[in-house]
Structure 1
Amino acid sequence: MKVKPLKDNILVKMIENEETSPNGIILTGAARGESNLAEVIETPEIFGEDQEILLRGETVMVTPHCGTEVKVDGETYRMVSYHDILAVFEK
């Protein structure tokens, strides 16, 4: 099933935090915390004139606890507002 976001919504897949600390300690559950990095999966076809278009596959930083969790074909995604995106990471 294909999901096409409407208005200023963007479908992203959250990138999980590392499971080990820089010192090699294995982190579990709450110790890992929630990631604020995501990969852009799908964007609407038309944005407002003042908004940049984000391309599929880009890594973005989103505000903590933003958006709505969506399950599609067994995969978990998050629908976030364009305004919840804080930064785009350059490759």
Structure 2
Amino acid sequence: MKLRPLDDKLVIKKIEKEETTASGIVLPSSAKEEPNIAEVIAIGNKFDTDEDMKGLVKVGDKIIFSKYAGTDIEVEKEEYTIIKFQDILAVIE
């Protein structure tokens, strides 16, 4: 199954990073906050047609997004989030 977001929506996959405390203890993902860095998996059709949005975000870009933005979904045992373009805070280059 392939996800195709509509309008100004994006499908992203959160990037989980393993954290280690100063004393060397590895924190499991359940003990830390949700990540707000993600990779763009798919973009909506407005990015192709709207000249102001064209080229701002591409599939494969790493982004920082608002902490509580989006809708989490699971497709074929993979977890994704669908967010609005306005929830993107920055593109990591």
Counterpart of 1:69 in structure 2 is 72
Whether the 8 Å contact between 1:17 and 1:34 is mirrored in structure 2 is no
Taking structure 1 as the reference length, what is the TM-score of the superposition?
A: 0.85
Q: Structure 2 unaligned segments of length 5 or more: list them.
A: none
Whether the 8 Å contact between 2:39 and 2:61 is mirrored in structure 1 is yes
Whether the 8 Å contact between 1:37 and 1:60 is mirrored in structure 2 is yes
Counterpart of 1:84 in structure 2 is 87
Identical-residue share of aligned pairs (%)? 40
Counterpart of 1:45 in structure 2 is 45
C-alpha distance in 1 between matches for 2:64 and 2:37:
5
Q: Aligned residues, how many?
A: 89
Counterpart of 1:15 in structure 2 is 15
CA pair 68-13 structure 1, distance change in 2 beyond 3 A: same
Any runs of at least 4 consecutive aligned residues in structure 1 with deviations exceeding 3 A, and if so which?
none
SS in 1 for 2:89: strand
What is the CA RMSD across the aligned residues, in angstroms? Answer: 1.6
Taking structure 2 as the reference length, what is the TM-score of the superposition?
A: 0.83
